[in-house]
Each structure stands twice: as structure tokens, then as C-alpha cells.
Structure 1
């Protein structure tokens, strides 16, 4: 009997220890998952309310623009962006271009040299001289043919030689004009050992890919010049938002690291969906700004219409742990924090979606001092 009682006592002791241990673990688990704020109610004294400058207002319907959020970048039309190449390979003898330098259309931007330039001019003068002789011979044979003095075959040979040389001379002339050779000077016998490259548009140099003394192939892009006077905003819109986009809609956009809001207008809507299911939208800036540069990234809101929505001032809405809240009051110095959803923000007011049970007639909304109430709520939770 004594042994049996000892065993029962031991078993009871073990069960007691296990129960205490389970209770402690349960208490620790509850402490870990307990929210930072266990109540949504704040009570202030009259003095505290005055210090926080609590002010009330009512939720009102306001006309807000329905918008689509998009990203994009500034760009220029293809005709305002030029890649400068050498029509014929050569060595760069001279250039003063640097990135950011402004150039005017027709300005000399580089000087090239190569023996082939000289040879091409020599060939032109030689073939032009032969053309003069063949022209005279053809005219002579034509005159003789009219008098039936020579054979028809002789006239055909003279005509063939004349036409062939004429085509060669015209071809060489076109090639020399592409090289910007002064033809009137050349026809006087003056051969140039260098050629000039001229700026095709007025704009700013954005790329310089060559240096003096380097050989340049016709396929090499030597310089890139951009006319920034006609920048546009190129927006990327997801396909599910495209039905809401229309030509003529206004676009509000801001550049990276800027708070200034700029305006643009939808001008063209792309007709092809990319692999990532987006469409490019072309927008014209309402106001040109010479300080802007192609390639700048931007965030934009496309205004797709106007709707009347319940709204509150931005300062009435607080953000806590990723959710949006407002404070309401039914009686003096007593405030309740309720969760809401937000929508469009415009001119300092934000669209709000309230709980179905919320009755605007019974409650006043805190317009000023909302963050003071949130701070008080946090402090109360920490004390508890």
C-alpha cells in the first residue's frame, strides 16, 4: 500500500508540472501573437484635446478624377534623333564635339581624310574628260548616219560608249556629292584631300563614339545628335487598362526625385501588345522644357474621367501597419479608430470607402489631429 501511494504521488506531481509548463507555453504564445494595439478607442481630457488641436469635419462627396497609374520615360520622335555616320570609310582628322554640346544644322562637326577620296575625284575628272570625247564622237557619228555615210553599227557603238560613260560620270558625281565634295571647285581641277561632315539637325550631342586618328567604317555611328525641343512622354500601360485610355486625355506626371507635377496629353495609342502584356502610349508635353532630357524616367496618372466620390482631407487619414484608418467621435473626448479603404487623391482630398455599418449622421470625423490620436493609442497599448 505504501509503495502504491508513493507511485500515485509521483504521477500527480508530474501531471502538475506538465500542466504548469503547458500553461506557460500558452501564455508565451499569446504574448507573441498579441497585436500592438488591443483597443481602437482613445479617450482624451479636455486639455489634451485642446493641445492636439482636434478639429472635426464631415465626409462629403467631391468630384475626383478617375486615373490610371502608369510608368514611362521621356523620349524624342525618330526624326529628332540622328546618328551621324561616314558615307565612305576614312580616318577622323578633326572634331570638337563633346557630349552636351549644342550644334546647329549645317555646322561642320568633323573632318575626314583618306586616299580613296582623292582617287574618287581623280576617277570623276578622268571619266568626265572621256565623256566629253565620247559625246563629240557620238554626235559626229549621228550626223554621218543621217547622211548615210557610216554604218548603223558604228553609230550604235558610239551611242553605247557615250551612254555608258555618261552613267559612270553621273554615278561618280552622286557619290562625291554624298561626300560633300564641292563639285564646282573639283571641275576646275582642284582636288580635296579631306571631306567635311555637317550636322544634319540642330540639337545637342548625346554620344561621341570616335576619337581623332581612328578609322571609321560606314557602319560605325560616330555621333548622335538629339533635338530636345519636341520631347514626348512614352508611357507603358497594361492591357487591362487600355480600354480606359482615349486620345486627348490629360496626363499628370512627375520625374524621379522631383515633386513638381507636369502635364501632357495622350496623342497616340499603340496597336500592338508586347510580350509583357503592355501597350505604349505616346503623349505630347503641354509645356516644353529645355532642361528635360531623353531617357528620364517618370511616373504618371492618366485622367480617364471624373466621378463624384466620398472624400476626406489627406491629413484625416492615418497609415498604421500598412492599413488606412480614420478617427471618429460620437461624444466629446472619445474617439474610435476605424479601418477604411482609399482611392484617388486629388487637390488634397482622397476618395474613401467606409464600412457598411458606418453612419455619417451619427459620427464626426477627425480632420486635424489624427496622428496625435494614433500616437496616444500606441502609447496606451504599450502601457497595457
Structure 2
């Protein structure tokens, strides 16, 4: 009976062992999974940037090459538009008085000799009266002088009478001449002055052609000879007054060309020619430089601020449009086009940010000093869009790192 039990146990063990081996064998067999081959990802770097066709269009990227350009070595300076002293007039009155009338306004165009104001003062009447009375007395003394002169020559009358008349005659001559000069100072013609045309008013006329820049009086106000009633400027001969630092003065020469722009016209350049170089250094260590405009323009106004470039010399240098050069962390870069490739069915354009050393910038172009031998296409427009994409990528990477 025991023997039968052992046979049954051994049989069950053998059956169990076979079953376990079969199950283990089935478990160890590898399962084949079919997978699609993916494209090898593009290698990224901190200076590489890729654009999809849509990004290329939105960023307004345009390609070009470094090309030779005739650029000048320049000195950047600031200054103002100004006029020579003879073209700026301050109008005042020779004698004090009340302003009877004036119709001038700032900005008005006036001509030389045009009436600008009328001044009233009783003293004007007194001066004219004195002149007319003195001329009458001079006429009498002239006749008396001639009569006494004849008598003295014939030794008929005493010499004392002739001497006395001579003194009176010469004194009256001096008085008449003095009053005549006062009338001329007032703008009154002594030769036309008669007892019937004495006036208490004085007309003030413009001494030059130009524009009224200041009006400092009005009807009824009292003005003195030290008061400036109006300022008139003739803008037909504007010039450029520039402030140049002491260190740059030795580079300047009379006849050099100057390009300047106005603050509200950054895209338009005007030309001038260096005419005079100052001979005095200011406390700020600067020197004034005077330049004449190559072309007069009526719309320019004295006092306008200008930004100017004095051209020192001209050279042909490798250059790119100014907007092709971007600045990041104090360094200058350009984006070199590295070609196109397919990625997941999209045609990608690759660019590499390359550090450069730039030189002269003039007329919208920048000299590329190093490396100047790049033959590849370069992003001449849209460079800042490429820089922004690199910056965004860096920020996203830092965000994932946190």
C-alpha cells in the first residue's frame, strides 16, 4: 500500500516539474513589437536657431551677403542750427514812449522797411521844435556873422562885436547839427521837417527781411531804449553750430563734409561743409565748429537740435545693412544662414548666430571688421526676430530646468 502511495507522489512531482519548465520556457520568449523609424532629431545649440516657413515670413527675414560699400570714418557730434549775428535783429526804440500800435505776431514774415510799431512821446515834439527854432536863429546869426565880418575887415566896428557874433554863430551851428543827429536817430528827416508837420509819434521799421521770433510788447505799454520790443531773424543763411570734444579737434579740417539729421527726420540727411573751427576750449573741454549748409531750406528754424557726422575719410569696406547686426550682452552678432532641411515633413531653415567686430556705421550700413570673409547668406532683415527666438528658447529651457 505504501509503495503505491510513493508512486503516485513521484508521478505528481514529475508532472508538476514538466509543467513549470514549459511555463518558464513560454515566459522567456521575447515579444516582437513593430515600431516606425523616427527621423534623427536636429542637434540644438545656444547659438543655433531654426525657423519654420511661417516663422520665416512672420519675422520678415530676408537674406543677403556681405558686400563692399564706400563708407566714411566719421565723428558723431551734436549741435544746433543758427544764424550769423547780422541776420538776427533786436528791435528797440531810440527814446522811451508808449506803444500806440503794433500788429506783429510770432512767425510773421516781414520785409525790410516794413512798419512794425508806432511809439508816442511828447519829447519827440520838443526835439523837433528845438531844431526848427535853432535853424531860424542860425539863419539870423549867419547874416549877422557875415555883416560883422565885413565891418571888422574895414575896421569900422569894434573887433569885440565880431568876436562875440562869431562865438554865437559857431555855438548855434553845433546845436543845430546836434539836433539834426537826434532827429536822424529818431528816423525823422531834418530836411523835410517844417513847422506844419511836427509829429508826436515815431514809426519803427524793420531793418531786415525775416521772420518775427519774439514779441515782447503790446499796445499801451511804456518802453525804454533798453527794452527789446521784437526779435527778427533772417533764415536765408542758416549755418550749423556743432560742439566737438577736445580729443577730436585735431581730426577736423576746413572743407570736410558734414551729414546731419533733425530729431523728427531721422531718415533724411542734409549736407553741410565745415567752414570754421573755434580756437577756444570751453570748461566742458569742447570746441565750437561752424559749418555752412550746402542747400538753403526755408522751413528750417534757428535753434533746431541736430545730430551730425563729420566725414574724415572714405574707404571701401565689407559691410551689411545696419539692421543685420544685433547686440546681445554687450556683443555684436549676425545670423548666418546654414541651409534648409526636412523635419517631420516641414522644411526648416537653420541659422547660426556668429559674433562679429563692427567698424564704421554710415547711411544705414555697418562695416564688418571680423570675420569679413563670410561668403554664406546672412539675415540682412529680421535679425532681431531670430535673436528673440533664441532668447525665448533659453528662457523655456531654464523654466523646464526648475
Which ranges of structure 2 fall in alignment gaps of 5 or more residues?
1-43, 341-348, 398-402
Q: Secondary structure at the match of 2:254?
A: coil
* More off after superposition, 163-172 vs 331-340: 331-340
105, 110, 121: which is aligned to 1:103? Answer: 110
Output the TM-score relative to the length of structure 1.
0.81
Q: Does 1:258 align with 2:270?
A: no
Which ranges of structure 1 fall in alignment gaps of 5 or more residues?
1-37
**Partners of 1:54 and 1:186 in 2: how far apart?**
81
Q: CA distance change for structure 1 residues 222 and 245 in 2, over 3 Å: closer, same or farther?
A: same
Residue of structure 2 in register with 1:383 after alignment: 396
**Partners of 1:41 and 1:323 in 2: how far apart?**
13
Q: Does 1:344 align with 2:352?
A: no
Q: Secondary structure at the match of 1:44?
A: strand
Output the TM-score relative to the length of structure 2.
0.78
Q: Secondary structure at the match of 2:70?
A: strand
Contact persistence 1:315–1:370 (CA under 8 A) = yes
Q: CA distance change for structure 1 residues 217 and 248 in 2, over 3 Å: closer, same or farther?
A: same
**Partners of 2:302 and 2:60 in 1: how far apart?**
48
1:57-109 CA-to-partner distances (Å, cap 9, x unmatched) read: 55444331111111111111111111111001111111111111111111111
Residue of structure 2 in register with 1:85 after alignment: 92
Shift of 1:287: 1.6
Contact persistence 1:313–1:349 (CA under 8 A) = yes
**Partners of 2:372 and 2:200 in 1: how far apart?**
89
**Partners of 1:287 and 1:43 in 2: how far apart?**
48
67, 71, 74: which is aligned to 1:67? Answer: 74
Contact persistence 2:49–2:386 (CA under 8 A) = no
Contact persistence 1:73–1:295 (CA under 8 A) = yes
Aligned length: 343
Q: CA distance change for structure 1 residues 50 and 176 in 2, over 3 Å: closer, same or farther?
A: closer
**Partners of 1:201 and 1:288 in 2: how far apart?**
18
Shift of 1:128: 1.1
**Partners of 2:211 and 2:61 in 1: how far apart?**
56
**Partners of 1:319 and 1:98 in 2: how far apart?**
50
**Partners of 1:375 and 1:113 in 2: how far apart?**
72
Q: Secondary structure at the match of 2:316?
A: strand
**Partners of 2:245 and 2:163 in 1: how far apart?**
69
**Partners of 1:269 and 1:366 in 2: how far apart?**
42
- Bigger Cα Rg: 2
Residue of structure 2 in register with 1:25 after alignment: none
1:297-333 CA-to-partner distances (Å, cap 9, x unmatched) read: 1111111111233322323212224432113467766
**Partners of 1:264 and 1:44 in 2: how far apart?**
46
Contact persistence 1:313–1:367 (CA under 8 A) = no
Contact persistence 2:121–2:200 (CA under 8 A) = yes
**Partners of 1:287 and 1:80 in 2: how far apart?**
17
Q: Secondary structure at the match of 1:100?
A: coil
Residue of structure 1 in register with 2:123 after alignment: 116
Q: CA distance change for structure 1 residues 278 and 109 in 2, over 3 Å: closer, same or farther?
A: same
Contact persistence 2:241–2:288 (CA under 8 A) = yes
Contact persistence 2:337–2:379 (CA under 8 A) = no
Contact persistence 2:125–2:199 (CA under 8 A) = yes
Q: Secondary structure at the match of 2:197?
A: coil
290, 309, 315: which is aligned to 1:307? Answer: 315
323, 332, 339: which is aligned to 1:324? Answer: 332
**Partners of 2:274 and 2:297 in 1: how far apart?**
18
Residue of structure 1 in register with 2:37 after alignment: none
Residue of structure 1 in register with 2:29 after alignment: none
**Partners of 1:153 and 1:341 in 2: how far apart?**
100
Let me know the Cα RMSD of the aligned residues.
2.6
